Structure 1
Amino acid sequence: MEKRISVVNIIIEDSEAVSMVNEILHSYGSYAIGRLGLPYAKKNLAVICLVLDCPPSVCSALSGKLGMIKGVMVKTMTAKV
Structure 2
Amino acid sequence: MNKRLGIIGITIKDRYKSAPKVNQTLSEHGEIIVGRMGLPFREKGVNVIGIIIEATTDEVGALTGQLGMLQGVKVKSLLV
The alignment's TM-score, normalised by the length of structure 2, stands at 0.93
Q: Give the letter for the 1:66 counterpart.
A: L
Q: Which runs of 5+ in 1 are unaligned?
A: none
Runs of 4+ in 1 over 2 A off after TM superposition: none
Instruction: Give the Cα–Cα distance (whole angstroms) in 1 for the partners of residues 3 and 25 of structure 2.
Output: 20
Shift of 1:42: 2.2
- What corresponds to 1:12 in structure 2? 12
Matched residue SS, 2:43: helix
Q: TM-score, normalised by structure 1?
A: 0.92
- Give the CA deviation at 1:56: 0.7
For the aligned residues, what is the CA RMSD?
0.8
**How far apart, in 1, do the equivalents of 2:32 and 2:76 lie?**
17
Give the length in aligned residue pairs. Answer: 79
3-state SS of the aligned residue for 1:22? Answer: helix
Distance 1:35 1:12 in 2: 15
Gaps of 5+ in 2: none
Aligned equivalents of 1:44 and 1:19: distance in 2? 17
Q: Deviations over 1:52-73 (max 9, x none)?
A: 0011100011000000001000
Q: Distance in 2 between matches of 1:34 and 1:64?
A: 20
